[in-house]
Structures are given as C-alpha cells and as structure tokens.
Chains A and B, each alone.
Chain A
Amino acid sequence: MKRALRWVFLSAGVLLFTRPLAAQGTATVSGRIVDSITAQPVQGVRVSVVGSTVGAVTDRDGRYTLASVPVGTVSVRAQRIGFAAQTRQIALTDGSIATLDFELTAAATTLSDVVVTGYGTDSRANISTSVASVSSEQIQNTPVAGIDAALQGKAAGIQVIQNAGNPGVGMTVRIRGSASISASNQPLYVIDGVPMLRDDFSQLGVGGQDLTATTGINPDEVEKIDILKDAAAAAIYGSRGSNGVVMITTKHGTAGATRLTYTTYAGSQVVPHDSRWDLMNAREYVTYMNEAAANDGYGAFYFGDPDTIDVAHNGKGTDWQDAVFQTAPVTNATIGLTGGSDRVQYFLSAARFNQDGVVLASGYTRDAGRLNLDVTASQKLHFRSALSVSNETHRRIENDNSIAGVGTNAIASQPWLPVKRPGTDVFTTTDDGLAYENPVAIATYDKTESRLLRVIGSVETNYTVSDLVTLNGRFGADVLNLRDLRWYSPDVAGSYGESVGGESIIGNNTPTRYVLEGFADFHPRIAALSSLALTAGSSAEWNSSELDLVDGIGFPGDQFQYPGNAATVVAYDGDWTGHNLVSFFLRANGSYKDRYLLTASVRTDGSSRFGTENRWGTFPAVALGWKITDEPFAQGLARRGNLKLRLSYGVTGNQDIVDNFAPLSRFGRANYGDVAGYARSSFGNPALKWEQTREYNAGLDLGIFKNRVNIIADWYNKLTDNLLLDRPITSTSGLTTVTQNIGSMENRGYELTINALAVQSADPAGWHWNSDFNISWNHNKVTKLFENQPFTSGLYSVNRVEVGHPLGEFYALKFTGVDPATGDAQYADINGDGTVDAADRVFVGSPHPKYWGGWTNTLNWKGFDLKAFLQFTQGHTIFNAINVFANDAGYYYDNKFRSLLNHWRQAGDVTSQPRPSFDGTSDVVGRISSRYFEDGSYVRLQDVTLGYQIPTKAAHTLRMTDARIYVSGRNLHTWTKYSGYSPDVNSNGSNSNISLATEFYAYPLARTIMVGISGAF
C-alpha cells in the first residue's frame, strides 16, 4: 500500500510541481466575430490558439483579445455551439498586435460540437465512437432537482425513468438498455474528470423510492453533458463503462470584464386532475362493499346504509387524494460571477433550489456553491480547479411500495370517513373505522429527513513539455456526509409510532472517494498521418464509507424527536466498508489524409472487489471513421453537406456490486440476547471477476442542406457475459444466494438523432425554427443463465428472468373473463391439469419500452422565443399492483377503483369485473393475472416555454446588459391509456434491475407552471 501510494503521488507530483519554463516571445491577437448571414456580432465564441492554452471569449460586440500568443505561425480557432467551428492561420512576430476577424456560419449544433471523451476532448467531426451531447441550454431552467431528470428525452440512447414524482427522487437511467442482473445498471457519472458518487447512501427505508447522489450537482452549473454510449467510447473507463458514461463538464470562467449573471424562476405545482386515480366516492364504496358482504351472507347493510352517508354532498364523502395533495411552490435562484484576466479566469456561483412536494410533508431544498478557477502560470503550465459544495435536505415521506405512506393511505382509505372527527380538530383513526392510519395525520406528525453535505472538487494541471508532449495530473475528491433523522410520532393513531410511544432514528453515513491520476498526451509528427495523438496514464481510486445508526423507541411526547430521549434502543449500527481501484490506460487517436480516422484504446483495471485470481481486467476498444465527403471524388457533395461512417468495437466491464467483499466467505453479526455472536453471512467466491460487455457499433453522421440538417444514426449490438449474479442456491446449504459470474444478456438497438435549422431568416429578428428530434429502439434479451434455470423476482414475483426473454418480463396468470354463470374470475389453465396455479403463468408483457425519445421545437421571432418539448415512450407494460387492494372484488377494506362498479350482479351478466365478495370467493384474491397489467405507452408534452428578450435599451435602463423573461409549463399533458398518476413509473426504485415498470402507490407527478427571469449585469 505505502509503496504504491508513494509512486502514484510522485507521478502526480512531478506533474504538479515542475518549474515553469521561461516564456519566449509573445504577440497579441484581437478581432471581431460576426454571423456570416446576419452580420450581427456573435457573443460567447471561444477563441483559442490551437496547441496552447491561450484562449478568450467574445463579448457582446463579438470582440475578443488574445494576449501572450506564442510567436510564429499559429492556428486560431473560433467555436461556439450553433455555429460551424472555423480555424485560421496567422503569422506573428514578437510584440506584434494582429487583427483576425471571423465570419461564422450557423449550423445545427450536433456535428460542430466539441465532445468530452474521457481524459481529453475532441471535435465531433473527428470521433468515430458513439457519443451524445446535451448542452446547458437544453437542461437549464427545468424545475427538477437533478441532471438525470433534465436529460429525459434529450439524447438518443439514454432512457430516463422518473420512477415517481417525489422532489429530489433518484431516477432510473439506462444507456442502451439493462446490461446486468445483480450489479448496478446505472451509468458512471464523471464530473470534471472525477468519477462521482452516485448511489443512495441513506440508511432509512421509506418505500420504493431512493435518493441519488447526483442531485448534489446544480444543473445551472453544468456547461455540457456528453454521454459515452458505445463500448469503444466508454472503454477508457474500462471496468465501469458497460452502463455507459455520463461526462459532466461544469462552467468555467472566461477572460474579460466581470460579468454577473442572475437567473431565477418561481413556479406552482399541482397534481393534474386527469392523472388521479379514479376511486369510488363514499356512497359507491359502501354500496359496493355491502354487496360484497351480502353475497357472502353478511346481511344487506354490513357497511351501513349508503343513503345516510354524506347526504349533504350526495354521498361524496372524503376525497383522500384531495386531502393529502397541496399546491406547492418551486423556486430557484442562481447568481454567477465570471471573468478574469488572461492569466486567471474564474467562475463563481451560488444557488438555492427549493421544491415543495405536491403531497403534504414532502419537499427538497438544495443550496449549492461553486468556484472554478483556471490559472495559466506560464505558457506551459496551466492549472484548472473545480470545487463545489452543496447542502441538500430531502423532506421525505413513506412512498411507493410501502403500505403506510401518506400517498398510499390516501388511495387506500375509505371515503365514508372524514379527515377529522366532525366538529373537532382531531384526526379520525382506526377506532373510527379507518382501515389504516389517517394519511393526513401521518403527514402532520411524522417526519423523515435526509440531509447531505457534499464537496466535489478536482485540481488538474497540464504541463506542456514541448509541442510533442503534455503532462497532466489530477487529484479529485468526492466527500459526502448524509445525516438521516426519522420520527414516528406517537400522535399518529394506529401507527407503529403510537404502539411504541414514538420512534426516532438517527444515522450518519460518510462515503468518500479520492482519485489520483496522471496521464501524458503525445502528439508525434508522422509525415504519413495528418494527425496522431497518444494518451497514456494511470489512475488510483480509494473509496470508503463509514456509518452509524441509533434507533430508539418510547418517548415522553411528540416534542422529543431525537433518540437521546428514547427509553429503549431497538437497533444500532456502526460499520466501515471500502474498495479501491487501480488503472492504467493508453489511447491512440489518428487520422490519415484527414478522412480516415482511427481510435484505439486499452485500459487495465485492478479492483479490490474481486478475488485474487481474477482481480485484473483488460478492456480494449477500436473505432474507425471515414469522412466520405472529404474524399476527392465527393467534392461536389461536400458543398452540400457531409457524411461520415463510423464502426467500432469495444469491451467494457461492470464491477458495481453492493458487497465490497464478495470474494470472501465471512461470518457477520448474529447476536443472541446480550451475547455478541456471529454466523456465516456469505459464501465467498474467490473466482469472482468483472462482468464483461462486448459492443459493436455502426453509425453515420450526415449533414445535409449545407449542414442545416444533421442526422446521427447508430446501430449497436451489446453482448454482456459473465453477469455478476446473486444466484439463488438451495437454502438447505444454510444461505440463499451466492454471487457468481453466470449468464449473458444482449441489448440490440437503433438510435436516430435529427437536428434541423428548419427556418433561418436572414434578418436576425426574423423567423428562426430549430427542431431537435431523437428516438431510440432497444431490445433486451437474456441469453444465458445458470443451467438456464429461470427465476422470478419483484413484487408478487411477477418479474421473470428466463432465457430468450427480456429481463424481468412480466409473468402471471392469463385472465379469461368472468364466468357469466357464477361471477367468478376465470383464468387460462395453460397446462390443462384441471386446476389454475403457478404452473399456468404465462408472459403478459415487458417492462421495457420498444422505443422512446424526444422532440424539441424552438421558434424565435424578434425578441420572442417559444420552445415545446415532447417526450415519448412506447410499448411497455405496467404491473399496476394497486389492483391487489383496489380491484379485489371487495376483499380488503381499501377504497376501490370506480371501474368495479361495472361488476357482475346476476347469472348471465357479461362483464370483466367479478362478483363482489367480502370473503374472497370469486377467485380474485391471491391471483396475479393479466387483469392487473396495463399498457404504459405515453406521449408527454413535457415542456412549453415562451420567452421574451428585453430590448437592449430597456435592459440598460435596468442596468442590465442582457435580460430575458419567460413563462414555462412542465408536464402539461400526457396522452396515455394508463390509469395512474404517471406511466413513467417504477415503484421499486432506481436500483431495481429486474422489476421495472411496477406501480405500487407511486408518488404523483406534478404539473408545474412557472415564470422566470435571467439576466446579466
């Protein structure tokens, strides 16, 4: 350990502390950049001297100045999103002041972009792997906590499932499908070169929904996001690349006068009425339940006389959904300060985001600050640092997949009972006849908070040894402290809190990650090649996590909410865990005649998570590109657009298993009474190794109509082997699972991205219409399992893992209708043995969509801008498990779906709703059948924004250089047949690999209307 540390530090130290060499002669270059069509100045163009760190950004008048430019003939490059980049050469002598103007031509953004590739950047024109990019404009001013939510529908190949509507909730993100069964399927997030902590570190169970550490990043601080999709792109992250890599680049300062930017919005969120569960009112419920009871001989009015209930409101009773929903504010304010000299540039920002939940007692707040610095110590030595601090508070409630939540009980509670006892301020309870705890009482008294304090930072240094060699060193850290506090109040009648006189849990978890990396870039000049760049380096990563927890019950009253006042400690914990990673990597990027491109890379990773036998893994990749329109024979075509073909193959891995010590057979805590004990807790597997994904990708980049329309199309086939699988084993062994490398999975798909400048008027105040469309198809299939034995998982074991089928395809009885003679539900007896049982289950739908995507249209006219964003997902099935209680023919006390009103009443009735039965005699209870599955396809009008750029003169009177006001709506309408709050549901949370698309009391998704202003001073 010590030896290794010393060398890693030394290698980085060499990079960090090498003395800068004395400057030779320098010159100054300045100029103005205008739009080639409109002749208007273009602000925000990054101008840089190729091969050096000298750079600047144009101001409002399109002007820039580059100081300290090395003498000789230099290439100056001007680039900005939305324009084709341009490079011009200029000869400079010592002390000269030269002028260099550019006329940039607008282009669809996609093909002119710079992409972050991991340990470097490249122009999209030069890459032959599959990388999607999302700019800050596409994600800013979205009223959501995390960048994952903002990415939904914005890039092909990336599927974001909201899971539920809780503010700050973790989301399910899949890049090109699910590649694992037991290891994580979430992508690797790399922020400014630092692989970020991503998991949920809370120790509290609050139902299906979890947190994600990605909300610690304020989306307003993000400059751009690049998603490394194919294995050839992701292989530079080797053992962690198989779920794809999301590269986040934060904003950096630009030289020039200090610029203060301010953005703020405020909105109001509600649960759309048309998305609510259609439940019975009091009279309908009592009538239905009376019938269920009467059918089983309990008499006519077992649940009371329906005609006497809430007569004043025609039997409406209590709408419990109304009772727990609220109109909730969402606000965001960000102040940014940017500027600097040619030596030092800074970006400083501070922000507060607050989102109250649309369900009582829930919400999320984040305070975030960032300081990014760029320091040019000399012509050869450059430092770049990024530091962010955030403080998040999640105000949580028990949610999906919990049978004691605010939202859950609002769906389940009987409508004939009021929220409060008539004429009092006292909540109704189970003593009044409620089947479950009063959801409003839970929201009023119980409390669950998870608070995160987070620092992510990196310091990077680049030292240009010569034209040929640059050395880079980077130190990164992600340090997080999560404090949980839960309070189950004794004042919630009928709850566990009341049973035990209050329960309080406090927990701390402190995961940390430190990364030390050193790599060198070589640019050897080889006459035969038009370019060649080599990167070689090494990386070491240390992860650890320390936690503690105290859980106490028995409190003197509701005001004592910390375990310090508990009478009895009922649970406690204190533990440490860790894992390390050591890596070496090499990459070559070359082109021949500027049109034949080759990228090859190899990374070798060693992980402490695997057994000594298989600790090291090697991940090679190669990608080829051919710019056809650069061929002499295609010169005619080149004037109209461009065409590039790409082919790649790569190998990536997955090491993301929960158990850091899976190779070891261990004995863990097993105390008996007051005696400390231990017992075997795991079967070790010293042969454990990486999950491995081989991926083929073929794609083309096409620019047509003078590049006003860009098309990126890809096909891929992703084959994952040696799946890390917690394989069930016979319990007679004493344990139930062992982690092994067993099984294979396949994801195949197509992706298409189209960006078009559909209308572009010569007049800058005229009509402009941008249209961005993306769509992805993915087909997932399990191809091998242990002895090909299928197994089931998920709620009510409906998710089946079977060779030849998509992961977790739904498996249940097939409902064949209601017997008109008896009113009993009927099911297909598949094996024909005369009884309907588990052996008669069949596949009833897949939780994976056939295709999904997004379509954004932006219109500009004079100072106005109008954006509309549609997002869609088609072809997946949802298991709506609420049916178990709300579509049970009257067996449970829970309120029922109104569709049950159309039930069987007498012999001869033809209906799909069985005979009501309080004793469960109509063959409904315990039968999970196709009756409980719904089509989850939807198209959502996710965002419509209307903005107005305040005229410069008016802005100036406000002492602003730039001001825009806008009004925006999110989640405005969803076209779907699905009956619940949102078809974009996953009640098992973001770590559920097998059991996606299950609905079990998901938190509703808000509709937001907001107004905002952004400006600069």
Chain B
Amino acid sequence: MTRKTFLPAVLVLVAAGCNSILDVKPINQVPEETAITTPAGARASLAGMYDGLQSTGYYGGTFVFFGDLSGDDVRHTGTFTTYRLADNNQLTADNATIEGLWDALYGVVGRANILIDRVPQVETSDPAWPSERDEIMGESYFVRALTFHNLQTLWGEQAPTGLGVPIPLVPVADIPSAGQITRATTGEVYTQILSDLAKAESLMTVSGQTPDATHGNLGAVHAIRSRVYLFQQNWAGAEAEAEAVTAMGYTLDPTYGDLFNDAYGDEAIFVLDFTPTDFQLLGYYYRAKGAAGGRREIGPTTGFIQQYAPGYNGTPASYVTTDLRGQHDISFQGNTVYGSKWGTGIGGEDFHVIRYAEVLLNQAEAEAQQGKLLEADSALTLIRARAGLPAAGLDTMSQANAIAKILQERRLELAFEGHRWPDLVRTGRAVPLMGIPAFQQLYPIPLNELDVAPGLVQNSGY
C-alpha cells in the first residue's frame, strides 16, 4: 500500500464499520416496542403498575401523609417545609411535594393506559392466555379507576358540572399532543371511573381474599365502588356495593394491630405488598426517632389523641384509653408521643388501600343517610366490638347525631391511613372545622404542570 492510498483507505474502511460500534444497547432495560408483546412482558408490566402504586408519592408516602396532614388528626413535627405548608393549609402551586403527588398518581394512570392499550395485542398460542389477559385488563381498569378517584378527591370540584381532573385514557402518541390536555368535568370523571369499574368487574374472575388481595380483584371493585358512591352521595349505591362485599365472605380480623404488621386475614380487600426494598415511608415518618425506628416527620395532634383520652395533657401518664385502636395507634418514647400504627421504620409492612372495616363504615354511613339507623348500628357495632367498645346505639340517636358518630368512628378506625382530609372535604366540614379559606379545600394544580399543559385551568384561589 502506498502512502498516498493508505490513509483514505483506512478512513473509508473505518467509516464502513463504525456504525456498528455506535450501536450500544442497554442491558437492564427493554425497548418499548418489545416490552408488552408476550404474556411474560404483560405480567412484568402489570407488576410495574402496582409498583407505581407503591411509589413514595402515592401509597408509599405522600398520598397517605397529605390525606391526614391537611386535616386535623396529625401535624407536621419534622423538617420538610412543604409538609408544614400542607399541615397549615397554606398550599401553593409551587409546593414540590404536591407536584410529586400529582406526578405519582398520573404515573400510575400512564402505566395502566399502556397495559390497556398493549395487552390485547399480545399474540400467543398459550390456551391459558385469554383468561389471564382478561384478568390483567380488569386489574388495569380497576387501578385506573382507583387513581382517577384519588385524583378527583384532592383536585376536583364536587359539583358534577364543576372542574374535574384530566382523565387521559390512552398512552400519549407524541409529546406535543400530550400538552393539549384539558380538565374533564367532575361528571365526566365519575362516569369514567364507574365505566372502568364496570369493565373491571366484567373481566375479572378472582374474588380476592388473602392471598389474592395484593392484586385488584372483584371484592376490591365492589369495595372501591362503595367508596366512590359515598363521595357521590349515592347512598343506596354505596350500601348495595358494601353488601356485595359482605356477601363475598369478608370479615373483620380479630386483632386490629395485626392488620398493619402483615398478620392480616380476610379483612384485607386490596392491599399493596411491600417489602423492605419497596420501602413504604409510613412507619418511618410516623414513628419516633431512635429505637422506635422512625424520624417523626408527622405526629398526632393533641386534639386527635384526646379523642381516645379526653384527659390527655401531653404527658404519657395522662394517656389512658380502653379503645384497642388507641392503644395500638398511639405510643410514647420517653415523653414523645408518636403514631405507632406501623410497627417498624423498615417499610416492609403491606398497606391496605381498602379493607373491610372501611366498607362497613361506608355501609353504616350510607344507611344512616337513608335513615336506616338500626342497620347502620349493626354495621358499626362490628367495628366497635373489635375495638373493645360497646355498641353505640345509633338507633337511639337523631339521624344527624348518628351520622356524626359514624364519621367519628371512621376517623378513629382509619386514622393515619390518609382518609381524614378527603372525608372532611366530602362532608363539608373542612372549612368550619379547620377555619381555612374555602379555596384550600382543593389542592392546587402544580405550577410546573400549568407551564407545560397550558390548557389546564388552575383551581380558583391559587
């Protein structure tokens, strides 16, 4: 090879080969095109959807925390300013934790949408696939309905013609079109939630008692529907759905504390299976520092503790209660009081998205609203008996007092599980009870979200 031809020859030949040097593929990730083309891929993506429910923005943390911080049961005792502002009902559209909450919930919607879009396209000769496919599709619709409802309770107006939350139903085709999204009306949101639940019910076959409670199931569909109807004040519907759950054979577990320490049984309807590597923050953020295993970012308010022990004055000695829930949920380390619903700070305890106790409370409330105080009392008695308390005798009260008593029981039974704030807003008590400006009843749509989706209208007041 002469000098003159050497270099050009090398350049040409190297150029011919270098496109293959430039093909570098990831190893721990799969391309989207092949992610959901087989039953195994569909199963992995289904697990991925539940993983989204576990994220620290959702049931692994913020969604549960803020559901109580905005209410009056707990207060901020840690260092995160964004939590403090939620506690003070001083939310602003630039609250980073609110943005994380919004992102986490819509992240799950996105994962459900991909499953709903792609799973029907899976081709396989496996005869077992069609039934498994239907189960996966049903679970995807269920999780989407659940998440739309959670979004709606925090961000959506209550009136059916009011501003609901955006409800994307298909995976985004391209980024510019994703930015065109607008808010649905509240009526449209509920129509979609109920439609998704109906599809889930028609596709599913697994009824759902433990150990199947870690996935969406028929029992969970009825249970969530009773909750949705309660929020819609469709009392008859809520009652009927609750009864459907009861008919499936769910019962309260004998020991309240077992529910939160992975020793639950037939009370579980839909529970998220956490391991220490999934790490839910609940125990860690509620428990006291040090030996108790937590960081006490959040603590129970004195007002809440006094629901159990009216004479409580801040000292451990003054905390005396016969309510077994109060004995389990409130503990002291030295003089520091903390929420002890979850037993460790390791984060491996499963979280109950919905459990039979809530269904009974939904039923009692729905029945009381319809004037069926005797029926309501029998549902409530089950709850109270497990807590070591006598029957409340709702049938001897006025309807208003009976409803108040049921809501009080709901407050105690579901404490720290993220229910208090949505319940206060739903029942119109948030403003009078907390003395907050009316607009703070709805969360602000994150500022950054408005920047990139200009069609979204901010909730008024923010």
Q: List A residues at the B interface (Cβ < 8 Å).
A: 1-8, 10-11, 14, 403, 429-431, 465, 469, 493-496, 498-500, 518, 520, 536, 538, 540, 542, 553-554, 568-572, 574-580, 582, 584, 606-608, 615, 660-661, 664-681, 683-684, 727-736, 738, 740, 789-792, 796-797, 837-838, 884, 892, 920, 925-926
Question: How does the 8 Å CB contact mask read for B27-54 relative to A, with 1 for contact and 0 for none?
Answer: 1111111010000000111111111101
Complexed CA–CA distance, A678 and B451 (Å): 30
B22 at the A interface (CB under 8 A): yes
Contact status of A732 and B88, CB under 8 A, knowing A500-B345, A536-B7: no
Q: Does B23 contact A (CB under 8 A)?
A: yes
**Interface residue? B447 (CB, 8 A):** yes
Q: Complex: how many Å from CA A128 to CA B32? A: 49
Residue of B nearest to A10 (CB): B10
Residues from chain B with a CB closer than 8 A to the CB of A733 are: 106, 110, 168, 172, 175, 178
User: Which residue in chain B gives the minimum CB-CB distance to A684?
Assistant: B32
Say yes or no: A469-B3 contact (C-beta < 8 A), given A5-B21, A518-B10: yes
Q: How far is the CB of B274 from chain A (nearest CB, A)?
A: 7
* Closest B residue to A432 using CB positions: B334
Shortest CB distance A491–B (Å): 11
Docked-complex contact B452 and A729, CB < 8 angstroms: yes
**Beta-carbon contact of B28 and A838 below 8 Å:** no
6 new A-B contacts at CB < 8 Å, known A7-B16, A498-B291, A677-B51: A1-B17, A499-B284, A570-B277, A576-B27, A679-B48, A838-B92
Any A CB within 8 A of the CB of B15: yes
A465, B43: Cα distance in complex, Å: 64
Stretch at the interface among B77-85, B217-225, B395-403: B77-85
B293 within 8 A of A: yes
User: Which of A678, A731, A884 contacts B44, CB < 8 Å?
Assistant: A678
**Nearest-CB distance from A245 to chain B (Å)?**
22
Contact B16 A925 (CB under 8 A): no
Assembly CA distance A165 to B446 (angstroms): 36
CA distance A505 to B384 in the complex (A): 45
Q: Give chain B nearest CB distance to A41 CB in angstroms.
A: 44
Contact of A498 among B49, B111, B214, B290 (CB under 8 A): B290
**Bound CA–CA A884/B47 (angstroms):** 41
Q: Does A403 contact B276, Cβ atoms closer than 8 Å? A: no
Q: Are B26 and A499 in contact (CB under 8 A)?
A: no
Least CB distance from A703 to B in Å reads: 39
- CA distance in complex: A220, B278 (Å): 48
Nearest 7 Cβ contacts at the A-B interface: A734-B110, A677-B47, A4-B17, A679-B48, A673-B273, A665-B32, A670-B48
Interface contact B295-A496, CB-CB below 8 Å: yes
Tell me which of B102, B175, B284, B347 contacts A731 (CB under 8 A).
B102
CA separation between A673 and B280, bound complex, in Å?
Answer: 11
Given the known A-B contacts A679-B49, A838-B447, are A673 and B275 also in contact in the complex, defined by CB atoms under 8 Å?
Answer: yes
Query: What chain A residues lie within 8 Å of B274 (beta carbons)?
Result: 673
Q: Are B24 and A660 in contact (CB under 8 A)?
A: yes
> Is B107 a contact of A838 with CB atoms below 8 Å?
no
12 A-B pairs, CB-CB below 8 angstroms?
A7-B14, A8-B17, A431-B334, A469-B3, A570-B277, A580-B22, A582-B21, A666-B31, A672-B273, A672-B278, A729-B452, A920-B88
Once the chains bind, are A734 and B32 in contact (CB under 8 Å)? no
Contacts of B90 in A (CB 8 A): 926
Write the chain B residue with the least CB distance to A435: B79
Q: B448 an interface residue at 8 Å Cβ cutoff?
A: yes
Q: Provide the residues of chain B in CB contact with A672, threshold 8 Å.
A: 47-48, 50-51, 54, 273, 278
A4 to B22, CA, bound (A): 10
Residues of A within 8 A of B294 (CB): 499
Chain B nearest CB from A824 CB (Å) reads 15
Report whether B113 and A734 are in contact in the complex, using a CB–CB cutoff of 8 Å: yes
CA distance A529 to B451 in the complex (A): 59
From B18, B111, B291, residue with most partner A Cβ within 10 Å: B18
Contact of B178 among A5, A540, A730, A838 (CB under 8 A): A730
Let me know if B279 is at the binding interface, CB within 8 A: yes
- Whether B103 lies near A736 (C-beta < 8 A) is yes
Residue pair B14, A4 in contact (C-beta under 8 Å):
yes
Q: In the bound complex, what is the Cα–Cα distance between A678 and B52 (angstroms)?
A: 10
Interface centre among B6, B14, B348, B453 (most CB of A within 10 A): B14
When chains A and B are docked, how far (Å) is the Cα of A661 from the Cα of B172?
Answer: 20
- Nearest chain B CB to A181 CB, angstrom units: 15
Chain B interface mostly helix, strand, loop or mixed?
helix
Known contacts being A608-B22, A672-B51, A677-B46, is A732 close to B106, with CB within 8 Å?
A: yes
Which partner residue on chain B sits nearest A469 by CB separation?
B3
State whether A11 touches B179 (Cβ < 8 A). no
Within 8 A of A (CB), among B191-227: 214
Q: Say yes or no: B172 contacts A553, CB within 8 Å.
A: no
Q: How many residues of B contact A (CB 8 A)?
A: 96
Which of B29, B111, B292, B345 touches A734 (beta carbons < 8 Å)? B111
Q: Is A734's CB under 8 angstroms from B107's CB? A: yes
Residue on A nearest B104 in the bound complex, by CB? A731
In the complex, the answer to whether B452 meets A730 with C-beta atoms within 8 Å is yes
B25: A residues at CB distance < 8 A: 661
The distance in angstroms between the C-alpha atoms of A672 and B20, with both chains bound, is: 36
Please, how many angstroms separate the alpha-carbon atoms of A495 and B296 in the complex? Answer: 11
Given contacts A569-B276, A729-B179, A838-B447, whether A678 and B107 have CB atoms under 8 Å apart is no
One of B19, B107, B277 near A606 (C-beta < 8 A): B19
**Contact call B106/A677, Cβ cutoff below 8 A:** no
- CB atoms of A1 and B10 under 8 A apart: no
Task: Give the chain B neighbours of A666 by CB distance below 8 A.
Answer: 26, 29-32
Contact across chains for B453 and A730 when beta carbons are under 8 A apart: yes
CA gap between A992 and B14 in the complex, in Å: 37
Query: Is there an interface contact between B50 and A570, defined as CB atoms closer than 8 Å?
Result: no
Residue pair A494, B290 in contact (C-beta under 8 Å): yes
Does the CB pair B79–A734 fall under 8 Å? no
Q: Which residues of A contact B453 (CB under 8 A)?
A: 730, 732
CA distance A829 to B456 in the complex (A): 25
Inter-subunit contact A1/B20 (CB<8 Å): yes
**Chain A nearest CB, measured from B154 CB (Å):** 14
Nearest-neighbour CB distance to chain B for A550, whole angstroms, equals 11
Q: In the complex, what residue of chain B is closest to A465 when comparing beta carbons?
A: B3
* In the assembled complex, B11 has its CB within 8 A of some CB on chain A: yes
A580 touches B21 (CB 8 A): yes
Closest A residue to B55 by CB, please name it: A670
Which of B88, B96, B102 has a CB less than 8 Å from the CB of A797? B96
Q: Report the bound CA distance from A14 to B14 in whole Å.
A: 14
Known: A4-B20, A729-B175. A734 touches B114 (CB 8 A): yes
Q: In whole Å, how far is A168's beta carbon from the nearest beta carbon of chain B? A: 28
Contacts A494-B290, A683-B175 given; indicate if A925 touches B84 (C-beta within 8 A). Answer: yes
Q: Does B393 contact A (CB under 8 A)?
A: no
Which residues of the other chain, B, contact A469 by a CB distance below 8 angstroms?
A: 3
Alpha-carbon distance A635/B386, docked complex (angstroms): 106
Out of A403, A569, A732, which one reaches B168, CB within 8 Å? Answer: A732
Chain B residues with Cβ below 8 Å from A736 are: 103
Instruction: Report the separation of the CA atoms of residues A8 and B13 in the bound assembly, to the nearest whole angstrom.
Output: 9
Q: How far is the CA of A834 from the CA of B290 in the complex (A)?
A: 46
User: Of residues B274, B345, B456, which shows the largest number of chain A Cβ atoms within 10 Å of its Cβ?
Assistant: B345
Residue B171 CB within 8 A of the other chain: yes
A837 touching B102 by the CB < 8 A rule?
A: no
- Structural contact, A790 and B346, CB atoms closer than 8 A: no
B289 within 8 A of A: yes
In the complex, the answer to whether A728 meets B168 with C-beta atoms within 8 Å is no
When the two chains form their complex, are residues B21 and A791 in contact, meaning their CB atoms are under 8 A apart? no
User: Could you say which residues of chain B place their CB within 8 Å of the CB of A520?
Assistant: 7
Does A789 contact B293, Cβ atoms closer than 8 Å? no
B337 smallest CB distance to A (angstroms):
14
Are B15 and A584 in contact, CB atoms less than 8 angstroms apart?
Answer: yes
Are A3's CB and B181's CB within 8 A? no
Residue of B nearest to A659 (CB): B26
Contact A540–B345 (Cβ < 8 Å): no
Contact call A669/B22, Cβ cutoff below 8 A: no
Report how far A494 CA is from B19 CA in the complex, Å: 56
- Contact indicator B48/A673 (Cβ below 8 Å): no
- With A570-B277, A679-B48 known as contacts, the answer to whether A790 contacts B451 (CB < 8 A) is yes
Q: Is the CB of A730 within 8 A of B179?
A: yes
